[in-house]
Amino acid sequence: MIPADPSFDEVYPESSRGTQGDKGVRVITLDNPPVNALSFAYCAKLYETIEAAHADDSVEAIVFSGANGLFSGGADVNDFNSELPAGAVTIRDVIRAVELSIKPHIAAIDGVCLGGGLELALACDYRIATPRSKLGLPEIRLGLLPGAGGTQRLPRLIGARAGLEFMLKGSAVPAARVLELGILDELVEGDVVERAISLAKEIPPKRRISALEATIAPDVPMQAAPFVVAQAHKMVPPEENGGFAAHKLIDAVQAAVELPFAFGIAREARLFDELVRSKASLALRHLFFAERELDKIPPVILPFDSAQGRLAQDDTESVQPLTVGNAGVVGAGTMGSGIAITFAQSGTPVVIVDTNEEAVDKARQTVMGMFMYQVQKGRLTQEEAWQRGQSITFTDDWSELADADLVVEAVFEDLDVKREVFAKLDAIVKPEGLLASNTSTLDIDAMAAATKRPDKVLGLHFFVPANIMPLLEIVRGRATSAQTLATAFAIGKTLKKKAVLSGNAFGFIGNRMIFDYMREAFGLAEEGTAPARVDAVMKAFGFPMGPFAMSDLSGLDIGLHVQKLQGKSGQGRTNVLEQLVEQKRLGQKSMAGFFKYDKAVGKGREPIADPVVEQLFAQEARKAGIAPRVVTDREIRERLLYALINRGAYLLEEAVALRTGDIDIVFVYGYGFPPHRGGPMWYADEVGIARVYERIREFEAAFGPQWKPSALLTRVAESGGTFAASSCFDKLSMTPGGGVASGA
């Protein structure tokens, strides 16, 4: 996209736009659609416009405003991925021009004001905003820190402690709260630009933040600064485990407290440049761009009309999604309740159908309990909670689903049961209604075959708890239409989910890969490595919990059921899982699984190593002829992670997953893969594909054919390439009507 020219209104003399006075005001409007990004190219033009206003003697004040319904979304992240071109103008140069000017500047903020946009506003003398505005410095979410003076101006304005908290959270904060913090000077109910012009004509004195002295906090003496800084470093994760940017941000804020402004700005620039090249930031920016690509679906994967010799629909961007004004859920269990809450939170009325009165009563309690919890946390008002609760209807009457735009079944994970549900829904729900399954493993095409509308059938795999977990797998069947997919992605946005497209394969993307991950965790335990040690190694890598604690959380009975659904491929070398289930050790819900749980410890969620389980693994391993081995932490890490990587490569080959970035999004947002490592496929590139391939070949020789490297992994390794530079479509020469279009 070619940046638009910064637009600006002419000088406003007396009586212009209803203001009084005789002082000229230049309004410079940031206008670089869609989010007024402050890219290098745009900043060059903005700089020229600002300097022209500074040189114009008829201009005595400058007002910054934003077009396109917002002030600015901040810097263009694409600029961070390349070297700064010679002579390039950045937001730092723009802000420096503002700083050096003798004329007052006012930021008139309406809508979003983030990152570099807020840093520009902080360089102004006054900041005013509309109540609907949201302001923030979200750079920490990309493994960066505000690099255009934000770490120096904000602490000087509101105190180092408040400024640091604002930047570490990285959230877009409502204007009312920003006013309370002291970042804004006033909220404006009417035309914010009109008010800014009026304010400018009152000849306000210059109030440059750079002239202020920073303080830790109003109630903390300056001599306490070293202690406060040391405590701040202890409050964030270690540098090597996701906290690299946070520690650098603390260092920058420390400079705002201890050094003159010019020296603090220099340190901020050095720390920013260090972060922008860091592995953690590169990984987080990869996820940022991968998320942007999620709903871009190549036409090659869409249904192919062989009779017409063309795609049934051109692509998901050329069709209008259906409107989903109301939804239905079949099943009032944990998943059904969570899905219903998710729809209600988005403002979509939902009907839950279940004939089990006990399940319905429990679901009612769950729903109202969740909304009241949000009231207690200050996230909802009593009225909002009541409205959301009223938007969920419980019934045992299936006919209540007749007018639903979308129905999601969330019944027991059994294909025959689900086929019966789909046949019943097909006869009840209006012809244009979409039918979706929340299955985590089963065949979408088999369910679609039970209906007369296979083009309107798909999978919507929510993750537990559905109302909290941000991931949603959209599963396409052979006949799923482009409009159905487009509607699914629109639903994902409405529900504020990271929606990832998957092909119709057992386990889809996430679970299919996690099966291999768990296979190796079990294998290590069978070879004598304690489950607690396996979990500790993966937590040290950055996962919130290890594989055995994760199994306990989801339920060992569920794990055993899925293992049986897999058939022979799901069978391990021992039957430890089956024995634990027979012993009623089902995980956290029974206070015992692979670990023990004590309600007095961490609310019963903290795993406690259990020698009984270790002995069971050892006993069954002896029966199976598995010799105990001593393994290093590195082997534990590699076996689990490389199993994910190899299976991910297979899924790319089979077009179950479209892009490596899709896989990475699934694992970061669905399974807790540490974001600062970018996801399993990005991590493979970081380690080196050739090295991963070599190690997988060693595992194949040592442990068997389940470790056979995928053809894609082999080709990328032999070519010296990376997954990031690869495209499964290009490599496999996929064409419409082939394996992909038919729903691999």
Q: Note the pLDDT tens digit of each residue in 208-231.
A: 999 998 888 776 777 777 888 889
Q: Looking at 288-292, 305-309, 370-374, 716-720, which range is the least confident one?
A: 305-309
Over range 304-316, report the average pLDDT. 43
pLDDT at 172: 97
Is 451 a residue whose pLDDT tops 90? yes
Between the CA atoms of 516, 520, 525 and 528, what dihedral angle is there, to the nearest 10 degrees? 160
Of 52-56, 112-116, 383-387, 717-721, least confident by mean pLDDT is: 383-387
Residue whose C-alpha is closest to residue 41's, from 74, 11, 76: 76
Confidence at residue 306, expressed as pLDDT on a 0 to 100 scale: 39
Residue 673 is predicted with a pLDDT of 98
Q: Is 728 helix (H, G, I), strand (E, B) or coil?
A: helix
Read off the pLDDT band of 82 (50, 70, 90): confident
Token pair, residue 479, equals 């006949």
The answer to whether position 673 is within a domain reads no
Among residues 227, 254, 281, the one where a domain terminates is 254
Q: Phi, psi at residue 212, to the nearest 5°?
A: -85, 160
Distance CA 367, CA 373 (A): 10
Tokens linked to 29: 């409007």
Question: Taking 90 as the threshold, does the pLDDT of residue 624 lie above it?
Answer: yes
| Measured distance CA(32)–CA(38) in Å, rounded | 8
Helix (H, G, I), strand (E, B) or coil at 18: helix
* 683 found inside a domain: no
**139 is known as an active-site residue:** yes
pLDDT at 2: 34
The mean of the pLDDT values for the chain is 90
Q: Is residue 705 part of a domain?
A: no
**Least confident segment among 30-39, 196-205, 672-681:** 196-205
Tokens standing for 295? Answer: 């709903």
Does the annotation count 119 as an active-site position? yes
Is residue 22 exposed (0-12), middle (13-18) or buried (19+ Cβ within 10 Å)?
A: exposed
Q: What is the pLDDT of residues 131-151, one digit of tens each?
A: 999 999 999 999 999 999 999
329 pLDDT more than 50: yes
Q: Does the pLDDT at position 307 exceed 70?
A: no
Q: Nearest 5°: CA angle at 446, between 440 and 452?
A: 120
Distances (CA, A) of 36 to 9, 75, 250, 370, 718: 17, 9, 29, 38, 43
Residue 227's pLDDT is what? 83
What is the pTM for the complete model shown?
Answer: 0.91
Between 269-278, 363-372, 707-716, the lowest mean confidence (pLDDT) is in 363-372
Mean pLDDT of 164-180: 97
**Are residues 240 and 330 both part of a single domain?**
no
Supply the pLDDT for residue 737. Answer: 25
Same domain membership, residue 537 and residue 420: no
The pLDDT assigned to 563 comes to 87
Taking only the tens place, the pLDDT of each residue in 4-17 is: 445 544 444 433 33
Task: Examine the domain organization and report whether 445 and 587 are in the same domain.
Answer: no
Q: Residue 3's pLDDT is what?
A: 38
Sheet holding 112-114, edge to edge: 112-114, 134-136, 173-174
Strand, coil or helix: 318: coil
Encode 665-687: b = buried (16+ Cβ within 10 Å), e = exposed.
bbbbbbbebbbbbbbbbbbbbbe
The active-site residue out of 139, 413, 526, 638 is 139
**Per-residue pLDDT band at 310 (split at 50, 70, 90):** very low
Q: Judge whether residue 261 has pLDDT over 90.
A: yes
Helices 244-258 + 160-169 axis angle, to 10: 160
Q: Is residue 300 part of a domain?
A: no
The whole-angstrom separation of Cα 527 and Cα 98 is 66
d(CA 268, CA 255): 8
Q: In which element (H, E) is residue 232 found?
A: helix 225-235
User: Based on the domain organization, do 489 and 607 belong to the same domain?
Assistant: no
The owner of tokens 């063309």 is: 310
Q: Both 553 and 445 in a single domain?
A: no
User: 460 and 398 in one domain?
Assistant: yes
| Predicted local confidence at residue 85, as pLDDT | 82
406-434, pLDDT tens digit by residue?
A: 999 999 999 999 999 999 999 999 999 99
The whole-angstrom separation of Cα 166 and Cα 157 is 12
Task: Kindly state whether residue 704 falls inside one of the protein's structural domains.
Answer: no
What is residue 19's predicted lDDT score, i.e. its pLDDT?
Answer: 33
Domain boundary among 254, 280, 304: 254
Distances (CA, A) of 707 to 97, 521, 629: 59, 14, 19
Which pLDDT does position 580 carry in this prediction? 96
Q: Please give the backbone phi and psi of residue 263, each rounded to the nearest 5 degrees, phi first.
A: -70, -35
**Structural domain that includes position 535:** 528-630
Looking at the domain assignment, is residue 736 inside a domain? no
Check residue 284 and give its pLDDT: 97
pLDDT higher than 80, residue 302: no
Distances 264 to 147, 225, 257, 274, 733 between C-alpha atoms, Å: 11, 15, 9, 15, 54
**Are residue 116 and residue 182 in the same domain, yes or no?**
yes
CATH number at residue 87: 3.90.226.10
Q: Round to whole Å and give the CA distance between 214 and 2.
A: 40
Phi-psi region of 465 (alpha: psi -120 to 50; beta: other; left: phi over 0): beta
Helix (H, G, I), strand (E, B) or coil at 461: strand
* Residue 224 pLDDT: 77
Is residue 77 domain-shared with residue 153, that is, in the same domain?
yes
Encoded tokens for 671:
């399974």
Say what the pLDDT of residue 6 is: 54
Facing residues of 78 across strands?
Answer: none
Specify whether 240 is located in the same domain as 347.
no
Same domain, 393 and 485: yes
**What is the spatial distance between Cα 713 and Cα 92, in angstroms, rounded to a whole number?**
43
* Coil vs helix vs strand at 189: coil
The pLDDT of residue 570: 64
Question: Residue 203's pLDDT is what?
Answer: 73
Residues 370 and 481 occupy one common structural domain: yes
% of the chain with per-residue pLDDT over 90:
78
Closest CA to 144 of 290, 271, 288: 271
3-state SS, residue 609: coil
pLDDT at 206 over 80: yes
Q: What's the number of domains the chain is made of?
A: 3
Residues 486 and 591 in one domain: no
pLDDT of residue 605: 87
Contact 255/662 with Cβ under 8 angstroms? no
Identify residue 208 by its one-letter amino acid code: R
Q: Is residue 724 part of a domain?
A: no
Residue of 119, 291, 614, 653 marked active site:
119
* CATH code: domain of residue 475: 3.40.50.720
Domain for residue 266, yes or no?
no
- List phi, psi (to 5°) of 475: -110, 125
- End residue of a domain, out of 596, 613, 630: 630
pLDDT of residue 253: 95
- pLDDT tens string 349-392: 999 999 998 888 888 888 888 888 888 888 888 888 899 989 99
